[in-house]
Structure 1
């Protein structure tokens, strides 16, 4: 095992993948045993196996009546509640079970994204009303609420529940279907709200549950930085729905959007701590054209001196915007300085944003392990890691 290189390990893993597995196993990133008519993983998870194209993704198994069922906290299936509450549009409907109704009362009536932001609370209350007329938004909202509940009540490495997977999958499928149809004015806010929720779900749900299994320690795969692809997908909808149009409920967030898209410096190192500028090889004459870390270092530095309680989603997503071009390539190649910048961003952002903390739980220690294992000789990088010479001053 010690002599096996990354390519040999990758080839062995590739050979073990199932080629004709069901879509549920692919969505859950598990090896399917390809059993017919139901694979073992779908049967144990309580969903209909969908190697056939006419079976929906992650559809809970219904007993003889074929009625849509709700899911207890224990994972058992139960009939819908008697006091029916529905979310429905012209083509789709979903009956909320007792737990969904409880989560609406407990979580969705306030802002889960940034609890202390009055603008987000205003937006969230209006989105909740829209969710009853747009099932794709309701499913996305419930998935975020379930993820938040898991964040509050679970320990390190807790896996996503069947309910989370179901609502996430349903929202993705319904939104995809809606985007293939003409977009009406009444649909624009629900579409943007759903896209934002799906981005949060993608970010807060890493594939791995331990640092050893997580990127960047794991062998490269198609899911590397998948949250970044989801974020770019959301931003591709900007010109279609225009969240800043006059009648948009998101217009109250204009200042947040402006911060997300604020221009970064074009030259120099003003505002970047000296130690960070040194490890990034940044100088007074540096520009984004001659240094791939330039914008990422500037974006990160805007939050480092702020109290954790003052860090906002706008400032956090300014760093997201810097992950493109040469810097994104360096990150995908596991460049040590690029990984260090991401690690420092995780450490700062995860203290104030709960859905970032869910990914940081596994990727932050994974980045540290990778840098210690493969770049132990890079003294400048090691100084920032826990136990390093600069670690205390960066906490």
Structure 2
């Protein structure tokens, strides 16, 4: 029997495809060793990666871009649910979640160990600062469980916790705080990319709870993040930027996320919580406002008449929301009355803020003051209120002589009674009047009254 000789043939040698090399790419693409499309002022690779594009070497390598990290495409009305996927499994016990956190923290890689410790800080610390006591308790039992099966939520958990770490650092301007904030932006950037990709496709029912949890954390983080702790470099004093007031736009997106995720449905992990926090329904005092509840001096200042509605007067609804917080102190139990100012904000009122309309700024300042006096644990609300609230105070003092000067000016423009009637404190909320405000209204033409 003839022997069988096996012959092993060597695979043909692979030849690398020749390509032209360019030395004109940006510094970040060179560092990452990827092909740069050389678009200017920002190449597409840097935009997608969430870093500041740099061609001349003037910026640090891979410097994080807040624009890239915070760019979220809000859910569209035509977003659909794919019901061919089985519904979400019921929540596991808290002990199992903690066991998963520990297991994750003991994984082989350094990144996983670090991420596991961050998730543990979320469970034991950060989650208790989010929303009401009921909400934080529900989130503690559900979000970590969901995060281990939904990467977009996991990255948002890591981002918010690192923002909290930055807040708790000794000084907001310290190297440690900066390190935490940059790490937070990295996870935020990844979370928004994954989240946008999910929202652009038919959505499986099994993702709905994770979508709602991500929306809740996005809203919290967007209010918590502020670029500078110095009011002189905060909005509205800083130079205009397309990303100004993006944190208000995410409040609008949260309503759309509610419609998609519907956390009030019976099979939701957030069912009990969702029944009491429906973001799509307005209370009776919004649908049928009581004009008699608006003090005469405020009615004059904001041009509100007894024939107005929240639809006919842009200032009416924000004023009602702020007024209903005047006898309250912001606590975990009373978060919703304060959040309504954001949830019910119309695009028209937000447009006035973007134009730096004086009366719109005054209403936002009034709300900031109510928030600033609230519970210290609600850091994600109070930090922005302190910094941007002070910036608004400076802006109003600079252009209108402060709040009393603003009121006086509007009375003069309308030919009203003048400062004799309105020079005293606002009886509705004494804290509204600026301490030490001695300037009087600047003489301005009526055409320049509403916007600087």
Question: What is residue 74 of structure 1 aligned with on the other side?
Answer: none
* Alignment partners' CA distance in 2, 1:57 and 1:277: 41
**Are positions 1:185 and 2:205 aligned together?**
yes
The counterpart of 2:155, out of the listed 119, 131, 139, is 139
Work out which of the residue numbers 315, 319, 331 in structure 2 matches 1:297: 319
Which residue of 2 is the match for residue 321 of structure 1?
343
Pick from 139, 144, 153: which aligns with 1:128?
A: 144
Q: 2:310 is paired with a residue of what secondary structure?
A: coil
* Residue pairs, 1:194-233, within 5 angstroms: 194-233=214-253
**After superposition, what is the alpha-carbon deviation per residue over 1:83-110, rounded to whole angstroms, capped at 9, x for unaligned?**
97289xxxxxx98533432232233246
Alignment CA distance shift 1:155-1:344 (3 Å): farther
Distance in 1 (CA, whole Å) between partners of 2:227 and 2:288 is 36
Residues 276-317 of structure 1 show CA distances to partners (whole Å, capped at 9, x for unaligned) of 444323344432244221000001111111133366332222
**CA 243–42 in structure 1, closer or farther in 2 if over 3 Å, else same:** farther
Encode CA deviations 1:33-61: one digit per residue, 9 max, x unaligned: 314xxx5635275x8x9xxxxxx989xxx
SS of residue in 1 equivalent to 2:171: coil
Q: Deviations over 1:221-273 (max 9, x none)?
A: 21121112222233223322212111111222235424773331544434445
* CA distance in 2: counterparts of 1:253 and 1:144, whole angstroms: 21
2:310 is aligned, of 283, 288, 293, to 288
Shift in CA distance, 141/379, structure 1 to aligned 2, threshold 3 Å? same
Structure 1 length normalisation: TM-score? 0.72
Contact 2:157 2:217 in 1 (8 A): yes
8 Å CA contact 1:108, 1:124 repeated in 2: yes
1:22-33 matches, within 5 Å, as 32-33=53-54
| Structure 1 residues 29 and 96: alpha-carbon distance in aligned structure 2, compared to 1, 3 A threshold | closer
Alignment match, 1:164:
184
Aligned to 2:387: 362
Specify whether residues 180 and 115 from structure 1 end up closer, same or farther in structure 2 by C-alpha distance, changes over 3 A only: closer
User: Structure 1, unaligned stretches of length 5 or more?
Assistant: 1-17, 50-55, 59-82, 88-93
Native 8 Å contact 2:131 2:335 kept in 1: no
1: CA distance, partners of 2:391 / 2:200: 39
Kept in 2, the 8 Å contact 1:29–1:207? The answer is no
Which has the larger displacement, 126-135 or 248-257?
A: 248-257
Residues 62-89 of structure 1 deviation map (CA, whole Å, 9 limit, x = unaligned): xxxxxxxxxxxxxxxxxxxxx97289xx
Could you tell me which residue of structure 2 aligns to residue 66 of structure 1? Answer: none
Describe the SS at the equivalent of 2:325.
Answer: helix
* Counterpart Cα distance in 2 of 1:219 and 1:86: 43
Q: SS at 1:98's partner residue?
A: helix
Separation in 2, partners of 1:274, 1:326: 24
Gaps of 5+ in 2: 1-39, 71-101, 409-423, 433-452
Q: Do the aligned residues in 2 keep the contact of 1:260 with 1:314 (CA within 8 Å)?
A: no
Contact kept, 8 Å, 2:156 with 2:191, in 1: the verdict is yes
For the Cα contact (< 8 Å) 2:252–2:343, is it kept in 1?
no
Q: Aligned-pair RMSD on alpha carbons?
A: 3.7
Paired residues, number: 334
Structure 1 counterpart of 2:120, from 105, 108, 118: 105
Matched residues in 1 for 2:240 and 2:50: separation?
Answer: 17
Offset at residue 382 of structure 1 (A): 6.8
- Cα distance, 1:125 vs structure 2: 1.6
SS of the residue corresponding to residue 308 of structure 1 reads: coil
Which residues in structure 2 correspond to 1:1-395 (within 5 Å)? 19-20=41-42, 32-35=53-56, 39=57, 41-43=59-61, 45=63, 85=104, 96-109=111-124, 111-114=127-130, 117-156=133-172, 159=178, 161-258=181-278, 261-263=281-283, 264-272=286-294, 276-309=298-331, 312-350=334-372, 351-352=374-375, 353-376=378-401, 379=404, 381=406, 389-390=425-426, 393-394=430-431
Greater C-alpha radius of gyration? 2
